[in-house]
Chains A and B, each alone.
Chain A
C-alpha cells in the first residue's frame, strides 16, 4: 500500500486558539469566519483538551463509496480525497458515510466542502504557532524514489526493524551505481553488504576499508579516477564509532584537505555490531555493554561528542544532520551532499535508532527516530560555508525529553539528576547551534 503525506495533529500541543480554522477559512473561502473552516478544533472529553475534526483522507474512503454521482475520488498520486463540484448532486450522502466529520455542508457555499491539503501546503499547519498541526511530508518521497534501483541485495542480515538498513538502501538508491562505496567494519558490512566468502551483497563497487581509514582510502579512489578523467562518486557509509573514535583522524584529515567524498555517518550511538559497546557518540547516561548499570554504574558518564558540529568547524563544503523519520528532509540533504561531494568534502550525519542496542521494540523504530527530533535530542540542520548553519526543523517548543527517554530501555535506569543533566546539555546544544545559525529555521 502506498503511503501519503498527511496532516498530523498533536493534541498535547493544541491550545484551542483557532488560528488554524481562521487560516483555513481565509485560504478556502476568502472569509475569515472560522465557522467556514474545513478543519474543526473542538473541546475534548477532558476539560482543557482539544480534538481535531478533519478529513482523514482514508485509504478506503466511505464518502467516496456513498457518493452516487462519483463526485468524490481518491487521487492515487497525492492520496487526497478530491471533491468535484461539477459532478456533485448535493445529496449529502457523503456526510453520512464519514464517521470523522471530515466532510460537511458549507451553507454559505451551498455545497459540501472538505480538506484538500491545499495542494500539499496546508494553510492550517503554517498558521499553527504551537506545532500542534504539522504537515508530514514523509510519505511522498517513497512514491518519488520507489522507482530507483535498490542497490543492495534483498535479505541483508540486519536485526529486525533495523534503521541502518533503511539509511543504506535509501542513500544508495539516490546515489546510484556510478560510485565506489566504502563500508568500514560495523553494522553496514556486518549485515552482508560487502559479502561473505566470495559473494557480495551490493551491486556497486564496495569494499571493507579498515575501521580507521575509510576517508583516506576514498580520497585515493576519487583522485585516481579523476586522474583518468572520470567522475566517480566516493561514498562512505560509516558507523559513529569508526568516524568519531578510531577513524576520526583520517576523517578530519580528509575534510581538512577538502577531499571530494560523500561521508555518511550512520549514528547508532555505539559499537552496535560488535556487541553494543560505548563510543564517543554514546549519549550521557546511556547503558552500553561497556558502560553497564550496576551497584555503582549508572551508564555513560560523559556527554556525546558532537561530531557533525566538529565537521562544521572543518569548513566542509556541506555538513548536515538527518533522520529517517523526516525522509524528505533526508533526501533533500542527500541531494545537496551528493552535489557537494563532486567538488569538496560532504558530511551527512544520520541518526539511526538501534532496536537491539537501545532496547526498544522493532516496530517502534521510526517513532523513536521522530521523538528524538521532537524532543531536541537530535536537531536537524545543514551547513555550507557560504550560507552558514540553518535549522531545517525548528527546535522551538520541543516535546518533553521524558517522551523520548521513556521509550528506550537503555535509559530506563536514569535518575532525576541524570535526566536533568541531559536536559541541560540538550538545551546548551540548541543554544550553541542557534548562535551559529545565520538565518531562522525553514518554515
Chain B
C-alpha cells in the first residue's frame, strides 16, 4: 500500500455473509486507541437500506445545491430517493426533472459554472446518451459528482448489472471510484465532493456501484452525523477557476488550438493540467479517506485494498461488489492451505499504477476478474491495466484475464474458487491461458 494515511492491508477474515454484496466494511482499523475513543463517543444512527438509497443519503449529507434527474434501470430508485429527500425538505436542493440524460449533465454544468454543488446518477444507455457533455466535464475542470449504477451495454438488450458502461468511458477524464459495499457507496459519494473540489484536482468523479448487486442489495448502514460531514467537506468553492457570473465576466471555453499562433501550446497546457489534476487526485483520494476516518470514524481503503496478501504466492485482482465473494473464496482457500491473496481496486481512474505494482510485486501469478470486456484486446479492461502495472516490475509475473458477472450474472464463491485454481496452475506453469469466461457454462 502506498501513500499516506492510517492504512492497514489486513482486516478480520470472518465473514459470515453468503454473498459479497451483503459484506460489511470494517469500521475501524484494529488496534488504534484514538479510533476506539471515537467509537466510544459516537453512537451512529443505523439504517437498513440498499445502495441506491445509500447514495441518496450521501447526496443529502453533502448539502448538494442542484440535482438533475432522469430515471433509468437500475438507477431509478436512487433519483426517486433524492426527489423524496427534496420533497421532505431534508435536502434543500434544486431538483430539475429534465427530459433526458444529455440535459441532466448539461443543466448541472450550467449550475456548477454559476456556483452550485451538483449531483446526478445514471447508467448504461443513459450514460451513452450523456456522452457529449460527459466528455466535456473534465476538460472544463468541473468538480461534479455522478454515480454510475453500473449496467451492461447494449446489445444484446439488457437491463442488468455489469461494468461495461463505466468501462466504456474510462478514458474520458473522470475520476472513477468503485464501491464494494452499501456503506462504502454512502461514504464515497460524500468523499467524492472533497476529492472533486480539491484545488489540486478540480475534476469530476464517478462513484460506481454495481447495478442489481449494490443498487438493490440491502444492508446495515451507519449514517454519519451531519456536523461531522460538514466539518469534513468544508465550504463550497466550485467555480473559483471558471464561472458564468456578471460580477466576474469571462469567456468560458473559447476556441483553443489550431495549427499556429498561441493555440498549440495553450491546448497542451490545458491537457497537461488535466493530466496533472488526475495524478494529484491519487494523493487527494488517500487524504480524503484518511480525513473521513478522522471525522466520521470509518475507514475504507482509498486506492487499493490488499486482502490477505501477506506471504501470498499468487493474487486475485477484483473490482466492485464481486470482492465480497472473492474474499470469502480467499478465506476458504487460505483455510485449506492455499497461499492466495486479493487486491481490490477502488480507485480505477486515475489508475493507481504504483500501488498495484507494489502490492503484486512479490507474487508468482495474478488472476484479474473483470465484469466487462475490452473488445480490442479480447480480455477484461482491468486485466489490461494490471498488465501495465506489472510491465514495470523487474521480474515477469504471468497473469490471466477472467470475465464474469456480465448482464446481471452473479460471481459466486464457486466462480472465484475456479479462478484460484487456474491461477495456482498459472503460478506453476508460467504460461497464461486465454481469457476465461466465468459464466460460460452456468
Contact of A221 with B by CB under 8 A = yes
B residues near A249, Cβ cutoff 8 Å = 99-100, 102-103
Q: A180-B246, A213-B133, A224-B114 are in contact. Are A200 and B100 (CB under 8 A)?
A: no
* B255–A177 touching, CB < 8 Å: no
Contact of A178 with B by CB under 8 A = yes
Kindly count the residue-residue contacts between A and B in the assembled complex, taking CB atoms under 8 Å apart: 165
Cβ-closest chain B residue relative to A233: B246
* A194–B254 touching, CB < 8 Å: yes
Contact with A213, one of B103, B112, B245, B250 (Cβ below 8 angstroms): B103
Question: CA A203 – CA B251 in complex, angstroms?
Answer: 8
A residues near B110, Cβ cutoff 8 Å = 216-224
* A198–B266 touching, CB < 8 Å: yes
Give the most central of B136, B252, B253, B257: most A CB within 10 Å: B252
B residues near A232, Cβ cutoff 8 Å = 114, 245-246
Interface code A232-258, partner B: CB below 8 Å = 1, 0 otherwise?
100000000000000001101110110
* B244–A194 touching, CB < 8 Å: no
A residues near B250, Cβ cutoff 8 Å = 200, 205
* B114–A180 touching, CB < 8 Å: yes
* B249–A207 touching, CB < 8 Å: no
* B115–A228 touching, CB < 8 Å: yes
Contact of B353 with A by CB under 8 A = no
* A216–B251 touching, CB < 8 Å: no
Question: CA A225 – CA B246 in complex, angstroms?
Answer: 10
Q: A224-B111, A249-B99, A253-B98 are in contact. Are A207 and B253 (CB under 8 A)?
A: yes
B residues near A203, Cβ cutoff 8 Å = 249
Within 8 A of A (CB), among B72-117: 94, 96-100, 102-103, 106-116
Within 8 A of A (CB), among B150-196: none
Interface code B58-77, partner A: CB below 8 Å = 1, 0 otherwise?
00000001101000000000
A residues near B234, Cβ cutoff 8 Å = none
Task: Tell me how far the C-beta of B338 lies from the nearest C-beta in chain A, rounded to whole angstroms.
Answer: 53
Contact of B44 with A by CB under 8 A = no
* A221–B111 touching, CB < 8 Å: yes
Task: Tell me how far the C-beta of B282 lies from the nearest C-beta in chain A, rounded to whole angstroms.
Answer: 30
* B65–A227 touching, CB < 8 Å: yes
Contact of B225 with A by CB under 8 A = no
Interface range for A: 35 or more
Contact of B243 with A by CB under 8 A = yes
Contact with A198, one of B94, B244, B262 (Cβ below 8 angstroms): B262
* A208–B244 touching, CB < 8 Å: no
Question: CA A115 – CA B132 in complex, angstroms?
Answer: 62
* B114–A220 touching, CB < 8 Å: yes
* B132–A210 touching, CB < 8 Å: yes
Contact of B258 with A by CB under 8 A = yes
B residues near A198, Cβ cutoff 8 Å = 254, 256, 262, 266
Give the most central of A202, A216, A228: most B CB within 10 Å: A216
23 A–B pairs (Cβ distance < 8 Å), ordered by A? A180-B244, A197-B258, A204-B249, A205-B250, A207-B251, A208-B255, A212-B106, A213-B106, A213-B109, A216-B98, A220-B96, A220-B106, A220-B107, A220-B109, A220-B113, A220-B116, A224-B112, A224-B116, A225-B115, A227-B94, A249-B99, A253-B103, A256-B99
12 additional A-B pairs beyond A197-B263, A202-B249, A207-B251, beta carbons within 8 Å, are A194-B253, A197-B256, A197-B258, A198-B254, A199-B254, A205-B243, A206-B252, A210-B106, A210-B136, A213-B102, A217-B113, A221-B111
Q: Which residues of B contact A (CB under 8 A)?
A: 65-66, 68, 94, 96-100, 102-103, 106-116, 118, 132-133, 136, 243-246, 248-258, 261-263, 266
Question: Which 4 pairs between the two chains have the least Cβ-Cβ distance?
Answer: A220-B110, A200-B251, A253-B99, A224-B114
